[in-house]
């Protein structure tokens, strides 16, 4: 297991994170994951299936790619997917996010199209995010609350000049945050 996927596995440890018994991660469309259309439980099931011991990604023809960035687990897809008005055949798993790698487009361009500002104050790097959805659930058995968030992300990495990574982070936090 790589460090890049540890936060997703921690998210899966949240109470009730196993998801509904009828959830089928092999039926999930990557486009839906990247576009923040899953909930946190579905996301966890998908990541565990796609990158875990079942190696579901390989069953779809995904090939692991060494992209030179240690914080991203990258895959080449057998067919392009649609993401942010463009197509790509590369995705990456980074912490609690699944990101489409969009070559030859500046992060500021995509960020402007979806209303995200750069949170890094210089022109050489880019990272921006926007809250899509926030939900608080209370676990009466444990007497605790959990906040689940879906956050759209646009970023760039020095290891991938000229490419933008854009997608969705699925987060769980203890408490009402």
Q: Tell me the pLDDT tens digit for each residue of 87-116.
A: 999 999 998 899 999 999 999 999 999 999
Predicted confidence at residue 21, as pLDDT, reads: 66
- The per-residue pLDDT for range 50-95, each reduced to its tens digit, is 988 888 999 999 999 998 888 999 999 999 999 999 999 999 999 8
- Tell how far CA 151 is from the center of its chain: 9
Predicted confidence at residue 121, as pLDDT, reads: 77
pTM beyond cutoff 0.75: yes
Q: How large is the average pLDDT for residues 33-42?
A: 91
DSSP character string of 86-102: EEEEEEEEETTEEEEEE
Predicted confidence at residue 1, as pLDDT, reads: 39
Task: Mark out the alpha helices in 13-155 (DSSP H runs).
Answer: 30-34, 40-51, 56-59, 107-114
Q: Any idea where the domains of the chain sit in the sequence?
A: 3-17+27-174
- Tell how far CA 77 is from the center of its chain: 16
Q: How high does pLDDT run on average in the chain? A: 86
- 173 contacts: CB under 8 Å, gap ≥ 6: 146, 147, 149
CB atoms within 10 A of CB 150: 21
- The per-residue pLDDT for range 125-162, each reduced to its tens digit, is 899 999 999 999 998 998 999 999 999 999 998 889 88
Please give the Cα distance from 96 to 125 (Å, whole number). 21
């Amino acid at each position: 297991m790589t460090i890049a996927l540890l936060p997703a596995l921690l998210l899966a440890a949240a109470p009730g994170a196993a998801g509904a018994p009828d959830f089928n991660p092999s039926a999930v469309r990557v486009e839906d994951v990247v576009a923040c259309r899953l909930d946190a439980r579905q996301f966890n099931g998908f990541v565990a299936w796609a990158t875990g011991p079942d190696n579901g990604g390989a069953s779809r023809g995904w090939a692991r790619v060494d992209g030179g960035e240690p914080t991203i687990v990258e895959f080449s897809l057998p067919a392009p997917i649609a993401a942010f008005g463009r197509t790509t055949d590369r995705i990456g798993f980074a912490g609690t996010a699944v990101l489409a790698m969009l070559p030859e487009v500046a992060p500021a361009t995509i960020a402007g199209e979806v209303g995200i500002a750069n949170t890094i104050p210089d022109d050489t790097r880019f990272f921006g995010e926007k809250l899509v959805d926030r939900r608080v659930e209370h676990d009466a058995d444990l007497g605790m609350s959990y906040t689940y968030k879906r956050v759209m992300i646009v970023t760039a990495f020095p290891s991938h000049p000229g490419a933008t990574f854009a997608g969705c982070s699925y987060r769980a936090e203890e408490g009402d945050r």
